[in-house]
A and B are shown apart, each in its own frame.
Chain A
Amino acid sequence: GAGVSQSPSNKVTEKGKDVELRCDPISGHTALYWYRQSLGQGLEFLIYFQGNSAPDKSGLPSDRFSAERTGGSVSTLTIQRTQQEDSAVYLCASSLATGPYGYTFGSGTRLTVV
């Protein structure tokens, strides 16, 4: 597609439920990133996928968080047993594999855990 697409744009869930957030990157972008942005905070790196390499999961805050990327394209971020502190905007970005390129961001998914 022309840009990075994220769905849903908003998600309200009950504490303890699992949620799945989807990211569809720009076609041809082999690098994909997930970030979390809490209210009034900066960007918190979660996970990074690059081609067929093992993902960099160093930013995942707990084992309740996981992500996968199927076929080197669409990615799903899953949060199990959601907690109120998981409430944030989850941003996905993609980029070309190498070179001094910045990221193209999606509009994010606003997750609210009640």
Chain B
Amino acid sequence: AQSVTQLGSHVSVSEGALVLLRCNYSSSVPPYLFWYVQYPNQGLQLLLKYTTGATLVKGINGFEAEFKKSETSFHLTKPSAHMSDAAEYFCAVIINAGNNRKLIWGLGTSLAVNP
């Protein structure tokens, strides 16, 4: 079955430190991959996505993610965490890209940024 696994439901970093949020997926065909962010009491906002082409994609707020087919991973990174990055982050994948149906979602990772 298709699935998305986010390692670590809670991640805590210091302000200015590297942010690394892990996402692995299972798929036998090339997927389309997404990261969404949800700030407190708000809806979900698209951070970045990978469809085709360059495997390193850049998103909003200084985040980026790299699609590694051999590792079936799409980890999210940011070189220097800011207090405003504290939020819930969700990884998602569309497996059947010809039919934009349900995204398969990870359970989310809550990022805390400590001063």
Contacts and interface: CB of A to CB of B under 8 A. Distances in A.
A99 B100 CA distance: 6
Query: Interface residue tally of chain A, by bracket?
Result: 20 to 34
A27 B94 CA distance: 22
B38 to A, nearest CB: 8
Contacts of B106: 42
B63 interface: no
Interface in A63-114: 91, 93, 95-108
A12 interface: no
Interface residues of B, number: 25
A42 B107 contact: yes
Secondary structure type dominating chain B contacts: loop
B2 interface: no
B94 A107 contact: no
B49 interface: yes
B102 A108 contact: no
Contacts of A91: 43-44
B25 to A, nearest CB: 14
A56 B102 contact: yes
A101 B49 CA distance: 9
17 contacts: A4-B43, A41-B107, A42-B90, A42-B105, A42-B107, A43-B90, A45-B102, A45-B105, A56-B102, A97-B100, A99-B100, A100-B32, A100-B51, A102-B46, A102-B49, A104-B46, A105-B43
